Amino acid sequence: MFATLQDRLEATFKRLRSKGRLTDADLDASAREIRIALLEADVALPVVRAFIAQLRERARGADVHQALNPAEQVIKIVNEELIEILGGDTRRLRFAKTPPTVIMLAGLQGAGKTTLAGKLGRWLKAQGHQPLLVAADLQRPNAVQQLEVVGERAGVAVFAPEPGSGVGDPVDVARRSIEHARTKLYDVVVVDTAGRLGVDTEMMQQATDIRDAVKPDEILFVVDAMIGQDAVTTAEAFRDGVGFDGVVLSKLDGDARGGAALSVRHVTGRPVMFASNGEKLEDFDVFHPDRMASRILGMGDVLTLIETAEKAFDQEQTARVAEKLKTERGFTLEDFLAQMQAVRKMGSLSKILGMLPGLGDIRNQVDQLDDRELDKVEAIIRSMTPAERDDPKLINGSRRSRIAGGSGTTVTDVNLLVERFLEARKMMSQLSQGKGVPGMPNIPGMGAIGGGNRKAKKAKGKGKKAQRAGRSGNPAKRARQDAVTAQERPESDALPPAFGGDGLPDLTRGPAEVPEGFELPKELRDLLPKDGK
């Protein structure tokens, strides 16, 4: 959603980094570019004006002009101002001292409230709560049935005493749900109300009546992040009509410009509390302003990536796999399949890679990653016998044909998978044993990072061995050997005693008499005064 904004900001920051010091003209040009980027992202004009005014004021201070790296200081200011616009600190749900905690959802029709109710219920259940979803949207056709299906998929109970589709009193349903939750010991009640087609006075009154009947602890306004400027107008109407405590952004994975996310909080004064960034029920999480600002600036979101990985990977299984990697034959295709399935639980490949910093230049390639390739790999592995998964070297030509036919792929696909798996397993085994990456040369001063060139190492070893064998351990004999070596040394290689082995004067020996015909290197001659002094 923020791809266009990210690209414009990245281009602006790249120009700033190319300058050693920043002038007022540079800052004005950068502020103008950032303003255009925000407007193109459909951010509300008052928000843009406030953002740019604050940026100009802070950028003209001494902390930028006197900084060793002024461009990084400007980026730091932009990051801090983005965090402030998005809400500053992360806002958490307030739970009632005496259960149940009542959460009321409100918003426009089509904003995704019913699906979001299921996502919120699933998230609350994962946090250790016992939520109850209430079908108080009795206007939209099949809204009750949709909530029941979503609740079943999320594993959350649904209170739906009325069939809906225009039948039943939503205020009475909401009121009865509270008593039902107390009786059945549900500690959180999520009330799904009917959506509005705009600033509808009748429907706004219905939402107000439900609010007065259940006295919710939190009223969450669900806004479609793709509707742009209209999101601000609608949010203001709900704030003045029903009132709400926080905002939930739905459809944050869309391809719209995303200005609503940067505008709603600043205009309404209410924080963004949750964000829905996908169609699956697990594509829902707490909104962190600092992490969102980091994504917008192309710095990634490593913390969210770590949290997602911790949820997807089983720690005991990961420890067993790490132990298996210490021996090359220990890690099997069965283990690889289990790890691949855990990665898929984290979401799409493009979503996972999008959380990594520094991928702005290859965003198009990341967005084009096809998760169906993982389906093909899984089909190939599942078409193998247990013995073949345990030892892929058993897979000969006839077995490859059988596996390709069973998985609906080609023999070439099977060959590529087996070859890449064996290479990856060998590399991971080397890394787990601290032997470095095979084929990567050593870096001076960094120790043995890779396997290096074995022939070069062997030759070097022979040379050292020969050198050690050629010199005596007896000091007197070694001195005679050195004298013979000096006599045999070519005359062109000889240097006066006051010069070091690199051909430059040894300043630790005092003045030296320069021999006839000796010339300084060109680099040093260029540094001498033109008169030769």
Binding site per annotation, positions for GTP: 107-114, 192-196, 250-253
Q: Is there a cis peptide before residue 100, judged by omega within 30 degrees of 0?
A: yes
Cβ neighbours of 385 (radius 10 Å): 12
Is residue 196 within 8 A of residue 206, CB to CB? The reply is: no
Is residue 265 within 8 A of residue 87, CB to CB? The reply is: yes
Q: Pull the structure tokens for residue 410.
A: 């080609």
SS3 189: strand
- How does DSSP assign 506-530, residue by residue? -GGG----PPTT----HHHHTTS-T
End-to-end alpha carbon distance in the chain: 66
Distance CA 493, CA 231 (A): 80
Output Rg (C-alpha) for the chain, integer angstroms: 34
- Residues tagged in the binding site annotation: 107-114, 192-196, 250-253
Sole residue written with tokens 């790890």: 339
Side-by-side strand order, sheet with 131-136: 157-159, 131-136, 188-193, 101-107, 218-224, 246-250, 272-276, 284-286
Cβ neighbours of 85 (radius 10 Å): 22
Helix H or strand E segment including 57:
helix 45-59
Q: Cα angle at 51 between 47 and 53, to 5 degrees?
A: 120
Q: Pull the structure tokens for residue 412.
A: 């070439």
Helix H or strand E segment including 187:
none
Helix H or strand E segment including 216:
none
* Residue environment code for 97-128, b if the CB has 16+ CB neighbours within 10 A, otherwise e: eebbbbbbbbbbbebbbbbbbbbbbbbbbeee
